[in-house]
Chain A
């Protein structure tokens, strides 16, 4: 008897030792950790079946879209929450590879040269954040975020007609604290001898805080940080909102139909399975698809001309980016140059490679159904202008190209931030039409402030509220690149 006990005991300990040797120290420790955690009270019971791929049954805030804007909102919610683990935040993202998300497909530019003061402020806020990114997004024992910021500036060119607007914009940008200088064509020739200044009356150049960075690094850095702050992620698509409505009369005696989302249905990947998530707040950060997500909540379904019938005017618009090589092209000093007609390019790395493109006109808008690249667009609409402005680009060789979606606001090409007036617990953070990456950090903070404190604090974003679509007050941004 004793012998048998001894033998089995010994056998087991041998087995354990063997396992330990084969699995290595690191795995051993993590397995132990898992075991201890599952035995501790208050932890979910994982013995029966694994539900980790499913979202939780309830969450205070559900963020639809895990792009840079969604993650920024998550970050600021956790950062500004009054007590640790005070709010539960869930980010629902349908594609963990982000293959079609705008964030990874963008050009990564940041500038202060906008025409709307709030956009300048957002950008200044973001650049300050990015400069100290490793303090904001520091995670103990994780390597620092390598943002790869190129502080090379934006150079905007204006024709005779555009010069006055450019000048007044720069005046406003300087008042907001941006370091922008105006340049005459002569100064331009002196500084950048490779530019043909024909047709240029005035130029503005960002001396500081403008340039481009790696959007992917920012996205990964944010993801890592919010995860460490306790934000939950789930892969799945938001397909339905369960709402309840409440009829009320406003002070003018009109009847309004206030609605509230109670449940978000998250459809799991490649299955018919869906999980309802009870929630108090939904954040619509679905980028180019945020118009569809708004529709799911019934926004825009009503008689035209009413608030109920006012859609979120955000739709995907396809934009091409081309990368070319030109041995005689401009050197290390090359900024992100935007021509009078909207053609832009910048240096990419050190090997005389450049990337650039142009926004098509309304008539030329390509079909957004897929992300195919139209190479003729470069030949006919981009290259002639490039070669005119920078004669060295006469001989260039296109190396590659890609397409991505602008989260395009068809109403005024500006962002939509804050709650919906009727679906009272849906908040928007979308519609930035090609400058969402650089504004994400400021927008996230604004949404978090609105949600937690009921008003905007750091930057007054009230001109960006949804109600402007109903009131038909355009907040036009002239500098859309």
Chain B
């Protein structure tokens, strides 16, 4: 059990560039951002000149294309070194970390070291993946689905992981024991409903999901659906007790400095 838990103690990763670039312009990832009444110069111009609107549409499209490119399939690596190396390579490229069985965690800044020693890693399977904050999307997730021995997967705060992604996790059902989805802005109760395929799950972190409409009820229903699994959600009773000035100050920021222990997370209703 020690190994899969290790992702909780990882140093938080760098905020991902690709993702930040994507957020800047589009109303696609951040629905509220462009609608809070903040009128940017570009917005003003595009209201009045069709060309500017066209240009902005073009940039929007370019950014989406970039995300797609970054989430392509690593089929050549896979054919040469097998699915585990391909999966690990994909995650390291995105700024995440992987753990091969009986080895230390490999982080994204060590990927040269990883490539140099690829034969050493090839002998053992990947057993844990920490993709916290990575710009993985539905297509990119495909690179992880053939990790036959994957026991722990953390997708915390991944901006593009959505309900469609969750519906794709079932090939990992035989091995996956621990899954963290905490802080994913696009996951709702609709996606959580299809985690019933993951029958071997021991631990599931669904705290801090802003798109879930009824967090308390959802947690109860998920617990009923996965009776053998410890479901970590937001502690809404605690949220009721906590006064406004007891709120953690950095809670609005995208990434807390220390990974929070389950339960100490800021309750949803106050964020």
Which residues of A approach B to under 8 Å, CB–CB?
29, 33, 131, 134-135, 138, 140-144, 148-153, 191, 207-209, 211, 331-333, 347, 350-351
Q: Which residues of B contact A140 (CB under 8 A)?
A: 27, 46, 53, 56-57, 60
Asked if residues B46 and A141 are in contact (CB atoms below 8 Å), the reply is yes
Asked if B218 lies at the interface with its beta carbon under 8 angstroms from chain A, I say yes
User: Total number of A-B contacts with CB less than 8 angstroms?
Assistant: 86
Bound CA span A294–B100, Å: 65
Asked if residues A153 and B28 are in contact (CB atoms below 8 Å), the reply is no
A144 partner, pick from B28, B46, B166, beta carbons under 8 A: B28
CB nearest to B190 among chain A residues: A150
Asked if B138 lies at the interface with its beta carbon under 8 angstroms from chain A, I say yes
Within 8 A of A (CB), among B94-124: none
B225 partner, pick from A143, A153, A207, A333, beta carbons under 8 A: A333
A135 partner, pick from B48, B64, B224, beta carbons under 8 A: B64
Bound CA span A153–B48, Å: 45
Q: Which residues of B contact A142 (CB under 8 A)?
A: 27
Known: A131-B138, A332-B221, A350-B189. A143 touches B27 (CB 8 A): yes
Asked if residues A143 and B170 are in contact (CB atoms below 8 Å), the reply is no
Please name the 3 residue pairs, one residue from A and one from B, whose CB atoms are nearest each other, closest first. A151-B167, A333-B196, A332-B221
Asked if residues B138 and A350 are in contact (CB atoms below 8 Å), the reply is no
Asked if residues B164 and A350 are in contact (CB atoms below 8 Å), the reply is no
A141 partner, pick from B27, B191, B218, B224, beta carbons under 8 A: B27
Shortest Cβ distance from A221 into chain B, in angstroms?
Answer: 12
Asked if residues B47 and A152 are in contact (CB atoms below 8 Å), the reply is no
Which residues of B approach A to under 8 Å, CB–CB?
26-28, 31, 34-35, 43, 46-48, 53, 56-57, 60-61, 64, 138, 163-164, 166-168, 170, 188-194, 196-197, 213-214, 217-218, 221-222, 224-225
CB nearest to A190 among chain B residues: B199
CB nearest to B56 among chain A residues: A140
Identify which of A140, A191, A331 gathers the most chain B CB atoms within 10 Å of its CB: A140
Interface of B is mostly: helix
7 CB contacts below 8 A, A to B, read A143-B31, A207-B197, A331-B221, A331-B224, A332-B189, A347-B193, A350-B218
Q: Which residues of B contact A332 (CB under 8 A)?
A: 189, 192-193, 196, 221-222, 224-225
Asked if residues B28 and A141 are in contact (CB atoms below 8 Å), the reply is no
A131 partner, pick from B164, B197, B221, beta carbons under 8 A: B164
B47 partner, pick from A33, A135, A153, beta carbons under 8 A: A33
Asked if residues B28 and A208 are in contact (CB atoms below 8 Å), the reply is no
CB nearest to B26 among chain A residues: A138
Bound CA span A148–B193, Å: 13
Bound CA span A33–B49, Å: 10
Q: Which residues of B contact A351 (CB under 8 A)?
A: 217
Asked if residues B190 and A149 are in contact (CB atoms below 8 Å), the reply is yes
Q: Which residues of B contact A135 (CB under 8 A)?
A: 28, 61, 64
Known: A140-B53, A333-B193. A208 touches B167 (CB 8 A): yes
Q: Which residues of B contact A150 (CB under 8 A)?
A: 163, 190, 193
Q: Which residues of A contact B138 (CB under 8 A)?
A: 131
